[in-house]
Structure 1
C-alpha cells in the first residue's frame, strides 16, 4: 500500500474508530513501512489527542473518561481474555478460597475452574454469579459460592459500596483475582471508578496472594483511581510479555509476569 504520511495517519484513525484499537505489527504489514515510522505516526496522533498509545499499538481515546458498560467490555479482545482466564485458572489449587473481582477478564477464569475440587469462590460480579449458579445446577461445579452483596451498579453488572466492603472484611482468601483499567510501573494499577477500586483493594488486603489479569490495552494506561502499587501484586497474567523497561523493577518488587498462550 503506497500512501503518503497524512493518508497513512488517516488510515490509522479509521481503524481506531472502527475497531477501537490498532496493533503496530499489523500496521507495519499493511502500510509497508518500518515500525519506527508507525511509532512516529502514533506519536503525532497522540499529540493531537486523536488516540492513546499503549503497549504494542494504540487505542481509541476515551474522552468521557467513563468506564464502558459490561456488555461493551465483554466483547473487547474476547479471545485474548479467554486465554488469560485459562492461564490464571491454572494457578488455582484444590481446596482454596478465592476472590474473583468483577471484570470481563476475571469472568473468563470461571469456566476453567470446573475441574478443581472443594473451591470456595467469593465474587461481586453478577455475571460471574450467574455462571457459577448455572455450573452448580448442572453439577459441573461442586464448590461453595458467596456473593458479595451491596449496592448494585446495573450498567456494570456488579456490586460496590461500603456494605460490600464490610462483607469482604469478614473473609480471608488464598488468592484474589483482580481486573484493572490501567497499569503503569510508576503509577500502579488503576480503575475508572473509585468505588469499584476500593472494593478490589479490600479484596487484596484480605488475600494471601494477589493476581492481576489484564490484556495488552491496559498496559501504559492510567485511570482515575489508584487501586494499588506493583509491590502489592504477586502475579500479573497478560496476553503479552512485560514491557522490557519494566522488567528490572518487576523483579525488584518480586512480581511474576505470566504470558498466556
Structure 2
C-alpha cells in the first residue's frame, strides 16, 4: 500500500472516530478515487479489526462493551479531561446548586469549584465526595456537600439505582454536569450502565440546565443505555470541536458546544 493509501485509511479511521460511520460514496467524492479503491481500503481495515463493513460503507467497532473500572478511566485521556473539567467549572457561579455526575471528568472540576463561594454540591461518586470533604476540613471549601444515597456500586465507587433516583427526586438544582460514555450523530447521549444512565436522566429532570462532558473518544460512540436526546442538553464541553456533519443537528437543537483549550 502506498503512503497515500495509508494516509487515506487513517483519514477514514479519524472520520469513524468522529462520526461513528462512513459511506462509500462520500469517500469516493472526498478522495476522488473509484468505489473499488474505497472497498479495498475498507476490506483491509476490517481485516485488522479497525472497523466493520456494512452495506454502503462501514461503522465503528465498539470494543469496550463493559465500562472500565474507575482506576482505568482515571488514567485515560487525563490531560483532555483536565481541560474539560476546568472549562466546565468555569460555568459555575457563586451560590449555585450543582450536581456532579459520577466520572473522572467531573472529578477534574473539584479543584476549581472549591474556590467558589456558597456552593451546594450534590454527588454520587465516593471519590468526589472524599475530595470535597478533604477540602472542607482544610477550610478551603465553604459550601455544602450532599451525598446521593442509594445502592453502592463497589467497582465504580458510586451510588445508583432506584434508591438514588428516589433520593434525587427531592432536590432541584441550577446545573447538572453529566459525563457521557457516548455521543452519537443520531443525537443521543448514552451510558454503559442502565442504572447510572437512569440516575443521570433524573439529574437532568431536576436541573435548570444540563451540561454534558465528553472527550474526543466519546464522540461518535454509542452504548447500551440511552440517557437523553441531544435536544434535551444545553451545553456540551469537549476537547475537540464537533464534527462538521453535526453542525446542522446542533443548530437545530439549539445546543452550545464549548471547546476546552
Where on the TM-score scale, by shorter chain, does this alignment land: which range?
A: 0.7 to 0.9
Label 1:42 to 1:162 Cα distance change in 2 as closer, same or farther (>3 A): farther
Instruction: Name the structure 1 match of 2:46.
Output: 47
Kept in 2, the 8 Å contact 1:236–1:255? The answer is: yes
Asked whether 1:175 is paired with 2:175, we answer yes
Measure, in 1, the Cα distance between the counterparts of 2:241 and 2:93.
24
SS in 2 for 1:257: strand
Q: Deviations over 1:63-98 (max 9, x none)?
A: 5x1110010001000000000000000000111100
Greater than 3 Å deviation, 4+ residue runs: 40-49, 58-61
| Residue 128 of structure 2 corresponds to residue 117 of structure 1 | no
Aligned position for 1:221:
221
Classify 1:134/1:192 alpha carbon distance in 2 versus 1 (closer, same or farther; 3 Å): same
- Equivalent residues, number: 230
Check conservation: 1:50, 1:61, Cα contact below 8 A: no
Length-normalised TM-score, structure 1 = 0.80
Q: Report the counterpart of residue 126 of structure 2 in structure 1.
A: 126
Change (3 A) 1:153 1:77: same
CA distance in 2, matches of 1:49, 1:127: 38
**Structure 1, unaligned runs of 5 or more:** 13-21, 24-34
Question: Residue in 1 aligned with 2:254?
Answer: 254
C-alpha distance in structure 2 between counterparts of 1:154 and 1:42, whole Å: 44
C-alpha distance in 2 between matches for 1:152 and 1:115: 29
Structure 2 CA distance for aligned equivalents of residues 69 and 233 of structure 1: 26
Which structure has the larger Rg over C-alpha atoms? 2
Following the alignment from structure 1 to structure 2, what is the Cα–Cα distance between the partners of residues 178 and 117?
Answer: 22
Q: Which runs of 5+ in 2 are unaligned?
A: 11-16, 19-29, 32-37, 53-58
Give, in angstroms, the shift of residue 202 of structure 1.
0.3
TM-score norm. by structure 2 comes to 0.80
Q: Using the alignment, how far apart are the partners of 1:67 and 1:249 within structure 2?
A: 28
Instruction: Identify the residue that residue 19 of structure 1 maps to in structure 2.
Output: none
Give the structure 2 partner of residue 18 of structure 1: none
Provide the aligned C-alpha RMSD in A: 2.8
> How far apart are residue 248 of structure 1 and its match?
1.6
Corresponding position: 1:212 with 2:212: yes
